[in-house]
Amino acid sequence: EKEYMDFTMTAKGKPGHSSVPTEDNAIARLARAVARLAAHQFPVVLNPVSQGFLERQAETRPSQVALAIRALLKAPEGRKRDEAGAELAALSPELGAMLRDTVTPTMLKAGYKSNVIPAEASATFNARILPGRRPAKLIADIQRIVDDGKIEFAFEPPTRKPVGPMPIDTPLYRAAVDSAPGARVMPYMAAWTTDSQDMRARGTIMYGIDPPGTEDDQRRAHGEDERVPLAALDWFALYLRDIVVKTAGK
């Protein structure tokens, strides 16, 4: 899993009446900073888990996506790999999010009246950091990209202990495989973060398994019309039951 980090950018400017515009407008300054950071693409980094996942995905994905995956895996590290990653992300945002650190604006706050220029404006971002990437390095990169001494930052770096990939030679893993005969099992690096990190950091074996669904279903997560197909939910409940019986039922 990636690591999770929230941060806020705040711009301050000269307040006043909206009928007299000023160059030192906090909202305008913040908007420029948000646009710069949101448009930035961080470098593509492949680790053993994401590379193994993409190699298997190239065997099953539609031809256009499969070609983009193979081009990415063949591309040398640096500009060519970053370009290949951008092409893959355009076809499959979910796969693209696995490849790099991401920084996404999620909340804006400014002003209290339509005819008043506010003294400050702020934007909240959510960052997801690749395993092995130092949060301090990402923080320095963010400040460099924004490049505005009048923007103030408030970072909330990860406090959890980083956790590596889970082993696959465990009874729980074998039960998960045996309970879905015929399924293609492959390593996976989540572009998000879950509470399992706290338990895994304490030595608990845990695996993330989602109900089956289409890519469209996955894109709706935390968005409009978030959903899981009923047939998938029925199957998933029985699947989890089988895993529990195979492990805890003995």
Query: Is residue 20 domain-shared with residue 131, that is, in the same domain?
Result: yes
Query: Is residue 35 domain-shared with residue 144, that is, in the same domain?
Result: yes
The confidence score (pLDDT) of residue 250 equals 62
Average confidence (pLDDT) per 10 residues, the chain, 250 residues: 94 93 94 96 93 91 93 95 96 92 96 95 96 91 96 91 83 92 83 84 86 72 78 89 88
Query: Is residue 34 domain-shared with residue 138, that is, in the same domain?
Result: yes
The Cα 123–Cα 46 span in angstroms is: 30
The confidence score (pLDDT) of residue 226 equals 81
Q: How far is CA 15 from CA 23, 111, 115, 150, 175, in A?
A: 11, 10, 11, 15, 63
Query: Is residue 127 domain-shared with residue 228, that is, in the same domain?
Result: no
The confidence score (pLDDT) of residue 188 equals 85
- CATH of residue 31's domain is 3.30.70.360
Query: Is residue 31 domain-shared with residue 144, that is, in the same domain?
Result: yes
* Residues β-bridged to residue 155: 7
pTM: 0.83
Residue 134 lies in a domain: yes
Query: Is residue 93 domain-shared with residue 138, that is, in the same domain?
Result: no
The Cα 147–Cα 140 span in angstroms is: 11
Residue 244 lies in a domain: yes
Query: Is residue 187 domain-shared with residue 220, that is, in the same domain?
Result: yes
Residue 120 lies in a domain: yes
Number of domains within the chain = 3
Residue 208 lies in a domain: yes
The Cα 40–Cα 88 span in angstroms is: 16
The residue range of the domain holding 127 is: 3-42+101-156
Residue 108 lies in a domain: yes
